């Protein structure tokens, strides 16, 4: 059996969503931002976060494939694009975690070519120690050490996304 050590409780996740939500509400006062969730890891973070934003907003999703197992492949493909044009929009990307930074760096480069009015990135978690390319998110829920985490949208080989908390995954020897 793999061992899961709780790192961020459901209550703390709620507080993180409230904090970022009210910051976005303040920063985009009078605007109608387009919130784009990066599937699949953005769920359920995005669901909780948008409930804390007191603005008219629109939502969309994109899907990027960039990670296998516990080590980044560094290869990024866009497998689902937004259904709403981002041109001249205040775009806010919602990502689960920033690790090497490759995914968000590449994705923001692609999106900036489409001329949004503004482009901001929200990341629930950030592992700055692991960075391989320079990238800084605009809103960060929590900075964590170099550990592999699962739950609250995040997976290990598609498992554990439904956990209501974030945990550190300790793999059983046979799974490594």
Q: Which of 48, 90, 96, 99 is catalytic?
A: 99
Number of residues interacting with Mg ion: please give it, by CB under 5 A.
2
132 CB neighbour count, 10 Å cutoff: 12
Of the two residues 17 and 76, which places its CB atom closer to ligand IMP in the complex?
A: 76
Least separation in angstroms between CB 175 and ligand IMP: 15
Of the two residues 27 and 148, which places its CB atom closer to Mg ion in the complex?
A: 148
Binding to ligand IMP (CB under 6 A): which residues in 67-106? 67, 72, 95-103
Find residue 142's DSSP bridge partners. 125
Instruction: Report if residue 61 touches ligand IMP, rule: CB under 6 A.
Output: no
Residues 124 and 122: their CA atoms lie apart, in Å, by 7
| Distance separating the N- and C-terminal Cα atoms of the chain | 12
Structure tokens at 91: 């775009």
Of the two residues 66 and 120, which places its CB atom closer to ligand IMP in the complex?
A: 66
99 in active site:
yes
- Pick the binder of ligand IMP from 43, 66, 108, 120 (CB under 6 A): 66
- CA 63: distance to chain centroid? 11
Least separation in angstroms between CB 106 and ligand IMP: 8
Least separation in angstroms between CB 133 and ligand IMP: 8
DSSP state, residue 29: T
Binding to ligand IMP (CB under 6 A): which residues in 106-165? 148-150, 154
Q: Tell me what percent of the chain is helix, strand and coil, each rounded to the nearest 5.
A: 25, 40, 40
Helix (H, G, I), strand (E, B), or coil: what is residue 71?
Answer: strand
DSSP state, residue 156: B
Structure tokens at 145: 């050490």
Of the two residues 55 and 62, which places its CB atom closer to ligand IMP in the complex?
A: 62
> What is the set of active-site residues?
99
Residues that bind ligand IMP (CB under 6 A): 41, 66-67, 72, 95-103, 148-150, 154
């Amino acid at each position: 059996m793999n061992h899961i050590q709780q790192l961020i409780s459901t209550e703390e996740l709620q507080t993180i969503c409230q904090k970022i939500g009210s910051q976005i509400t303040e920063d985009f006062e009078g605007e109608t931002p387009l919130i784009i969730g990066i599937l699949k890891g953005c769920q359920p973070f995005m669901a909780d976060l948008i409930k804390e934003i007191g603005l008219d907003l629109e939502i969309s999703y994109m899907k990027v494939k960039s990670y296998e197992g516990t080590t980044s492949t560094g290869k990024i493909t866009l497998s689902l694009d937004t259904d709403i044009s981002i041109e001249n929009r205040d775009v806010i990307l919602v990502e689960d975690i920033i690790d090497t930074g490759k995914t968000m760096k590449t994705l923001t480069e692609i999106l900036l070519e489409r001329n949004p009015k503004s482009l901001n990135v929200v990341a629930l978690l950030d592992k700055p120690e692991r960075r391989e390319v320079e990238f800084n998110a605009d809103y960060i829920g929590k900075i964590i050490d170099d550990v592999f985490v699962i739950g609250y949208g995040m997976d290990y080989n598609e498992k554990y996304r439904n956990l209501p908390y974030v945990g550190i995954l300790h793999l059983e020897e046979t799974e490594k």
